[in-house]
Chain A
């Protein structure tokens, strides 16, 4: 069942349509990727889910119920543009932000102790934020986001500004949160992390949801019938067969074998390819090549760019 559902969301700003009839359905306990180029409308959608702004049309359902303002307590949000009060002490500030999310002072203190110990940052408690490095501040910010144990977590470009060490820590924590039952929405254009973490994705471009679905399915939908075959044997024979009957894209010699990438026609299968070359070589390995999310992203954005732009003008 969908944990969060957005139906027919429309948001207009004075001169442009930020969101044009967007539907998303975030399955319970999943990591949901919200992808799209800059200015596609991701942050607007996230702000609508957070009730920072309201949609012009459309509705939001949380657990099948219309989203209410009290539901904000169930959401933890790490915005792309994030920061802390520079002059305030770390501990005091964390307590303040936790209390704004509805925690009592004592609960906030207890939980903060736990997290500060876990991240080994107890020594920062009485420091002012301006004394911290950017990475340190990011850790504090992350703790504050998840402290009230929200059921829904929204991370907008969480890895921007994190160094590799902290980014790995963050990934680990995100997977941990999922294991503990949270649903996570995750907006990014860092496609590597999408393949690694996201179960589902939606790709938004120019205010419209272009594709939606489980990550694997999306990649399969956009596969281009590419296979890779590792073989040893008569290179020239194999090469000529592959060139004639299929579309040979690359053929490289690697150590003492060869690697070929072949694009098949509509009705051809990997079996056919293999049987046609088998007489001339030993097959060492073969697999279908799924496009990376990066490829899907570029394909979708370029392909559909033009019609939507015409529509807008």
Chain B
């Protein structure tokens, strides 16, 4: 046992000390933090500037129909000023000017927005929406419905948000968030996928390094090949855990640090607000939905929703499935690394190992939409796909028996693949300069034991 721990120690330290590991550990959180902070920061930068748009309305139908906002002011000018503005646009101080030539109900194209710079989507979208609302109302008014004024004001107040409520086994209600659940499900499935892939290939590289540098025979004269393989697998697993931990801690530190430094008083504008602004111009309805969702996102509510996902249970399950999947696949990756002599041979043996991983991610994508489907069920049972697919299902609540069965199968699965891979690995690492095919691997598998 102490020898395995020596191997684990070497595998761990030699990787953690690498420059690439340190760079990744620092860059990762900076990227994550940037993804959260930069859009917010950009949004807050834009906040400062108030833009004024001149409106030259040749029809005089639309005066006062575009309301000022905090950031956009509208000045309705008389017809004659168009030439002046065009000539001295720089000096005029306007951000843009809007020219309406005709009744827009009859001639919707009789409108132009001019500026010397690219007009932002926000500004254009806002003008568009204001005028469209006005035109809709105008059109309705042509039907001479009685009490139209009050109808319109009522219509404009209609807004709907459906809170989703999860019923516990005892009939108690918990507020849940379909969006949050889906996000968590997607994030976990993708994390499992990424880590199994990245660290599984690291195991393979490590085995290949030992084989091509010919140190492996020196080492297996001191320890059993199986110990060497397991030591490597476990050592790299700890590297993975360290990386995850560093990312989480550093990301939190950076985000809170940045928040304290740049947004000391105010609530930090959330990333979603920046997104909403962006979406507004392209798809106003979706943006409204998001906005309403956003309104519901006060702290207490979020906590309640997070609680409905049982974070501790989810985290423990994530660690279990990540480890199970990693152990299962890294053993196979180790066998591949042991079997091949040159990097160029790795493709043909990598493929059968990576295909199930890729299929898992694909199935996980469908699982977000229909977590209870047969496909999702079966793929979350098979040990080769369950680490990813089950992680996608867990936020949607999985019956206990399914969870236990899947976990048991995964444990059985990695014991079986480790045993199988160990047999191939043991022979492969001492086999130099031999062209290997599947028939050869099968022979190795059947060699008598030690």
Question: Would A85 and B218 count as touching, CB distance under 8 A?
Answer: no
Mask of A128-172 contacts with B, CB within 8 angstroms, 1/0: 000000000000010010000000000000000000000000000
Query: Are B222 and A101 interface neighbours, CB within 8 A?
Result: yes
Among A74-128, those with CB < 8 Å from B are 75, 77-79, 81-88, 96-97, 99-101
A84 in complex: contacting residue of B215, B222, B430, B448, CB < 8 Å: B215
Could you tell me if A75 and B221 are in contact, using CB atoms closer than 8 angstroms?
yes
Asked if A52 is an interface residue, CB under 8 A from chain B, the answer is: yes
Instruction: Say whether A72 contacts B222, CB under 8 Å.
Output: yes
Q: Which residues on B sit within 8 Å (CB–CB) of A233?
A: none
Tell me whether B221 and A77 are in contact (CB under 8 A).
Answer: yes
- Judged by DSSP, the binding face of A is loop
Size of interface on B: residues with Cβ below 8 Å to A: 26
A50, CB-defined interface residue at 8 Å: yes
A254 at interface by CB-CB < 8 Å:
no
Across the interface, name the chain B residue whose C-beta is closest to A51: B450
Contact B450 A100 (CB under 8 A): no
Which residues between 187 and 227 of chain B lie within 8 Å of chain A, taking CB atoms? 209-210, 213-215, 217-223, 225
Q: How many A-B residue pairs have CB under 8 A?
A: 71
Does B51 have its Cβ within 8 Å of any Cβ on chain A?
A: no
Pick the contact of A81: B209, B222, B432 (CB < 8 A): B432
Q: How far is the CB of A117 from chain B (nearest CB, A)?
A: 23
Number of residues from A at the complex interface, CB < 8 A: 31
- Which of chain A's residues have a CB closer than 8 A to the CB of B144? none
Say yes or no: is A285 at the interface (Cβ < 8 Å to chain B): no
* B6 pairs with A96, CB closer than 8 A: yes
- B213 and A52: CB pair below 8 A? no
Is residue A56 within 8 Å, beta carbon to beta carbon, of the partner chain? yes
CB-CB under 8 A from B215, the residues of chain A are: 82-85
Query: Which residues from A are CB-within-8-Å of B430?
Result: 47, 52-53
- Residue A214 interfacial (CB < 8 Å): no
Cβ of B447 within 8 Å of any chain A Cβ, yes or no, is yes
Question: Which residues of chain A come closer than 8 Å to B209, judged between CB atoms?
Answer: 85-86
| With A13-B447, A87-B14, A88-B14: A97-B218 Cβ-Cβ less than 8 Å | yes
Asked whether B446 is an interface residue with its Cβ less than 8 Å from the other chain, the reply is yes
Pick 20 A–B contacts, CB within 8 A, sort by A.
Answer: A12-B448, A14-B443, A14-B446, A52-B430, A52-B450, A53-B450, A54-B450, A77-B217, A77-B218, A78-B218, A79-B218, A81-B214, A82-B214, A84-B218, A85-B215, A96-B6, A97-B218, A97-B219, A100-B219, A100-B223
Please name 20 further chain A to chain B contacts, defined as beta carbons within 8 Å, in addition to the given A56-B448, A75-B221, A85-B14, sorted by A numbering: A13-B443, A14-B443, A50-B221, A52-B217, A52-B221, A52-B225, A53-B450, A54-B448, A77-B221, A79-B218, A79-B221, A81-B214, A82-B218, A83-B214, A84-B218, A86-B209, A97-B219, A99-B6, A100-B223, A141-B218
Binding site for A on B (CB under 8 A): 3, 6-7, 10, 14, 209-210, 213-215, 217-223, 225, 430, 432, 443, 446-450
A residues contacting B by CB (< 8 A) are 12-15, 47, 50-54, 56, 72, 75, 77-79, 81-88, 96-97, 99-101, 141, 144
**Shortest 10 CB-CB contacts between residues of A and residues of B:** A83-B214, A54-B450, A79-B217, A100-B222, A77-B221, A83-B213, A14-B443, A81-B214, A83-B215, A50-B221
